[in-house]
A and B are shown apart, each in its own frame.
Chain A
Amino acid sequence: DAGVTQSPTHLIKTRGQQVTLRCSPKSGHDTVSWYQQALGQGPQFIFQYYEEEERQRGNFPDRFSGHQFPNYSSELNVNALLLGDSALYLCASSFSTGVRYNEQFFGPGTRLTVL
């Protein structure tokens, strides 16, 4: 049973460019959440997708957008990249059951460097 997978593992972009990161959830999971983790910081919630719609969003600008496909995989898009967007981007998947909390399983992350 494959866990959460993310691609690519590393990416280097220049300021102003656009980037797309991809995530495949753990088998049986229907919810994907994205986090940004800057060096020395905890992960920060970007947004969450469920049933192909954005269900919740953190305090990130509109340059950050996403999508969820019918097979539950997800993409994170970042436009007009800034130096401050350099970080580890983590995807986490879970199965929404309506109970208080559904454990999220994290993927290995994509390391984005903006020059």
Chain B
Amino acid sequence: QKEVEQNSGPLSVPEGAIASLNCTYSDRGSQSFFWYRQYSGKSPELIMFIYSNGDKEDGRFTAQLNKASQYVSLLIRDSQPSDSATYLCAVNRGADKIIFGKGTRLHILP
């Protein structure tokens, strides 16, 4: 079982709709959880991090964490074509060692 699992997609969402990205992790000791966005040919960019169970909102983005289910999700409201990218879920394994999933390709349809 991989440490961080994501559906590779592509996930196609109409412009203006809500995009929902999901991730599961295997290590119950994981404490910090991240969503990175990576445009094709570019390096990852941190867009959200969450430590506690529940929801965390930042603009159009909402991260959700359920430690009991070992599940992290990212919601993008009012999706824009510029949101088309690969979204990487990651967990922190101590002292800034980050374990990434394979990423989910998101395509926003104009």
* Chain A contacts for B99, CB-based, 8 A: 45
Q: Which residue of B lies closest to A56 (CB)?
A: B97
Interface residues of A in 10-39 (CB under 8 A from B): 31, 33, 35
Q: How far is the CA of A31 from the CA of B13 in the complex (A)?
A: 38
Interface residue range, chain B: 20 to 34
Q: Report whether A90 and B96 are in contact in the complex, using a CB–CB cutoff of 8 Å.
A: no
Q: How far is the CA of A40 from the CA of B103 in the complex (A)?
A: 8
* Chain A contacts for B22, CB-based, 8 A: none
Q: How far is the CA of A101 from the CA of B50 in the complex (A)?
A: 10
Q: Report whether B43 and A108 are in contact in the complex, using a CB–CB cutoff of 8 Å.
A: yes
A105 to chain B, nearest CB (A): 8
Interface of B is mostly: loop
* Chain A contacts for B32, CB-based, 8 A: 100-101
A29 to chain B, nearest CB (A): 11
Q: Report whether B97 and A45 are in contact in the complex, using a CB–CB cutoff of 8 Å.
A: yes
A79 to chain B, nearest CB (A): 23
* Chain A contacts for B97, CB-based, 8 A: 33, 45, 48, 56, 58
Q: Report whether B96 and A41 are in contact in the complex, using a CB–CB cutoff of 8 Å.
A: no
Chain A 76-101 interface mask (CB, 8 Å, partner B; 1/0): 00000000000000100010100011
Is A102 interfacial (CB 8 A cutoff)? yes
Given A56-B95, A96-B96, A106-B44, check contact A101 B102 (CB 8 Å): no
Q: How far is the CA of A31 from the CA of B43 in the complex (A)?
A: 18
B30 to chain A, nearest CB (A): 11
Q: How far is the CA of A48 from the CA of B98 in the complex (A)?
A: 10
List residues of B whose CB falls within 8 A of some A CB: 4, 8, 31-32, 42-46, 49, 51, 88, 90, 92, 94-103
List residues of A whose CB falls within 8 A of some B CB: 31, 33, 35, 40-45, 48, 55-56, 58, 90, 94, 96, 100-104, 106-109
